[in-house]
Amino acid sequence: MEERNSNFIHDIIDEDLRNDPNLKIHTRFPPEPNGYLHIGSAKAIMINYETAKKYGGLFNLRYDDTNPAKEDNEYVESIYEDLTWLGATPSGGVFYGSDYFDKCYEYAVKLIRDGKAYVCDLTAEEMKEYRGTLTEKGKNSPYRDRSVEENLDLFERMKNGEFPDGAKTLRAKIDMASPNINMRDPAIYRIVHVSHHRQGDKWCIYPLYDYAHPIQDALEGITHSLCSLEFENHRPLYDWVVENIGFDPRPKQREFARLNVTNTVMSKRYLRYLVENDMVDGWDDPRLPTLCGLRRRGYTPESIFNFVRSAGISKADSLVDIAMLEHCIREELNATAPRRICVEHPIKVVITNYPEDKVEYFDLPNNPQDPEAGTRPVPFTREVYIDEADFAEVPPPKFFRMKPQGEVRLMGAYIVKCEEIVKDGNGNVVEIRCTADLETGNGMPTDGRKIKGTIHWLSAKFAKEATLMLYDKLFTIENVNDIPEGKTYNDYLNPASLTKVEHCKIEASLADAKPGDKFQFVRDGYYCKDTKHENTFNRVVGLKDSFPKK
The half-sphere exposure of 312 on its side-chain side, counting CA atoms within 13 A, is 10
The number of beta carbons lying within 10 Å of the beta carbon of residue 333 is 25
Percent of residues, the chain, with pLDDT higher than 90: 93
pLDDT at 28 over 80: yes
Is residue 138 within 8 A of residue 176, CB to CB? The reply is: yes
How far apart (Å, rounded) are the C-alpha atoms in residues 121 and 144? 10
Give how far Cα 178 sits from Cα of 124, 128, 136, 170, Å.
20, 15, 10, 19
pLDDT number for residue 69: 83
pLDDT at 384 over 90: yes
Lowest mean pLDDT among 28-32, 34-38, 69-73, 256-260: 69-73
How far apart (Å, rounded) are the C-alpha atoms in residues 399 and 392? 8
DSSP state of 290: B
Lowest mean pLDDT among 260-264, 349-353, 475-479, 542-546: 542-546
Mention every residue, 6+ apart, whose C-beta is less than 8 A from residue 69.
Answer: 192, 194
Q: What share of the chain is helix, strand, coil (3-state, %, to 5)?
A: 30, 25, 45
How far apart (Å, rounded) are the C-alpha atoms in residues 195 and 202? 8
Angle at 234 between CA 51 and CA 228, to 5 degrees: 35
Rg (CA), the chain: 31
pLDDT at 3 over 50: no
How far apart (Å, rounded) are the C-alpha atoms in residues 85 and 301? 7
How far apart (Å, rounded) are the C-alpha atoms in residues 22 and 430? 76
pLDDT number for residue 430: 95
How far apart (Å, rounded) are the C-alpha atoms in residues 152 and 160? 12
pLDDT number for residue 1: 41
pLDDT number for residue 548: 66
H or E stretch covering 430? strand 429-437
The number of beta carbons lying within 10 Å of the beta carbon of residue 429 is 14
State mean pLDDT over 158-174.
98
How far apart (Å, rounded) are the C-alpha atoms in residues 467 and 501? 6
pLDDT at 184 over 70: yes
The half-sphere exposure of 130 on its side-chain side, counting CA atoms within 13 A, is 20
pLDDT at 475 over 80: yes
DSSP state of 498: E
pLDDT band at 2 (very low <50, low <70, confident <90, very high): very low
Active site residues: 32, 258, 268
What SS3 state is found at 431?
A: strand
Is residue 260 within 8 A of residue 288, CB to CB? The reply is: no
pLDDT at 5 over 80: no
pLDDT number for residue 550: 52
Residue 517 one-letter amino acid: D
At 188-236, the pLDDT tens digits run 999 999 999 899 999 999 999 999 999 999 999 999 999 999 999 999 9
pLDDT number for residue 444: 85
State mean pLDDT over 352-379.
96
DSSP state of 479: -
At 507-529, the pLDDT tens digits run 999 999 999 999 999 999 999 99
Domains of the chain: 8-256 (3.40.50.620), 261-338+467-542 (1.10.1160.10), 342-456 (2.40.240.10)
State mean pLDDT over 400-419.
96
